């Protein structure tokens, strides 16, 4: 009997201690969860503040817009104003858009908005093709973008402004929307077709390049590749490009904002002066189309050479 009593006391004590430990562990985990939630909240708050700063810098007219705006309404387009197409100082031979004073007819305007809506509603790259300019050429790129790289269309928010101009003898109708992408805006350039309709310039819309950013970093190609990107001046110097007196440092961000690289170009060269002037005249990040390549036997996957500038914009009209 005594032995049984002792065993009962021991087992009861163990259970009590076990439950005390369990409840302390639960309390500790709850405390940790609260701390973690608070940290996540602070991170999210800082991220939101940083995003607002970027948007306020690059697209000040939308700085007070809370959150991600709803998709544009094709039936009720917002009021728009003409984009500023004034020339920026730089060295180079990039054609400037020539603003058109004649208004787009209501029929063509409505058709252009309908094309955008049908493009966004299409669920496969093949379904999107009928609404894209030069579909025969960009179809392969679209398949790789959507099916292989598993990318999605950039998010378009509320309509902000509009421009109607000629570029290289091509009539362009440009719609600008608010967007959570870097820079805070999304341009949808639509090019006039022989039949008068406007179709979407898909490459400038998604910021397509000749190689996916992860593949470029992985392969460290030493042959030039065309990239559409956001560029801004930086003070990072390292590896083959450690000499700040020799190089301009440029922070290069992918169109979706998920990847970045550092591009370097020699100071005092025509290319270096062109890029320095463009970035000096830009408000925040500048959308550029560049040619880049890694140096031979590159020491890193994020420092490369800027070897050419194709345009001071993403829209390339031949």
Residue ranges per structural domain of the chain:
98-206, 213-311
The angle at the Cα of 126, spanning 125 to 131, to the nearest 5 degrees, equals 85
Selected from 1.10.287, 3.30.310, 2.60.40, 3.10.450, the CATH number assigned to the domain covering 98-206 reads 3.10.450
Tens of pLDDT along 115-124? Answer: 999 999 999 9
pLDDT at 182: 87
pLDDT per residue over 184-242, tens digit each? 899 999 999 999 999 999 999 999 999 999 999 999 999 999 999 999 999 999 999 99
Range in 130-144, 207-221, 276-290 the model is least confident about = 276-290
Q: 289 near 314, Cβ under 8 Å?
A: yes
Pairing of strands 198-200, 185-192: antiparallel
Mean pLDDT of 281-305: 95
CATH class of 213-311: mainly beta
- Predicted pLDDT of residue 94: 78
Rounded to whole angstroms, the Cα distance separating 274 from 268 reads 10
pTM above 0.75, yes or no: no
């Amino acid at each position: 009997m005594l032995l049984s009593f002792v065993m009962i006391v021991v087992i009861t004590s163990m259970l009590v201690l076990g439950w005390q430990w369990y409840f302390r562990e639960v309390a500790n985990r709850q405390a940790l969860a609260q701390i973690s939630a608070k940290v996540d909240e602070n991170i999210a708050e800082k991220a939101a503040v940083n995003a607002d700063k970027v948007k306020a810098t690059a697209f000040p007219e939308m700085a007070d817009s809370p959150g991600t705006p709803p998709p544009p309404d094709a039936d009720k387009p917002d009021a728009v104003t003409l984009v500023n197409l004034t020339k920026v100082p730089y060295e180079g031979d990039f054609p400037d858009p020539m603003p058109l004073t004649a208004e787009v007819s209501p029929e063509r305007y409505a058709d252009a908005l309908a094309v955008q809506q049908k493009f966004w509603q299409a669920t496969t790259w093949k379904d999107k093709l009928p609404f894209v300019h030069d579909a025969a050429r960009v179809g392969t790129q679209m398949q790789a973008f959507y099916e292989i790289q598993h990318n999605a269309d950039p998010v378009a928010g509320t309509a902000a402004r509009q421009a109607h101009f000629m570029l290289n003898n091509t009539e362009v109708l440009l719609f600008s929307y608010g967007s959570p992408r870097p820079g805070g805006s999304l341009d949808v350039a639509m090019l006039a077709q022989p039949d008068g309709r406007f179709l979407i310039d898909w490459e400038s819309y998604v910021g397509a390049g000749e190689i996916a950013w992860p593949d470029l970093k992985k392969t460290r190609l030493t042959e030039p590749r065309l990239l559409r990107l956001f560029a801004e001046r930086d003070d990072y110097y390292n590896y083959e490009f450690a000499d700040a007196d020799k190089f301009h440092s440029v922070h290069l961000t992918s169109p979706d904002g998920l990847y970045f690289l550092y591009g370097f170009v020699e100071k005092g060269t025509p290319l270096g002066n062109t890029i320095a002037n463009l970035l000096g005249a830009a408000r925040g990040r500048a959308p550029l189309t560049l040619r880049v390549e890694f140096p031979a036997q590159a020491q890193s996957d994020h420092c490369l050479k800027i070897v050419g500038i194709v345009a001071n914009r993403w829209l390339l009209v031949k």
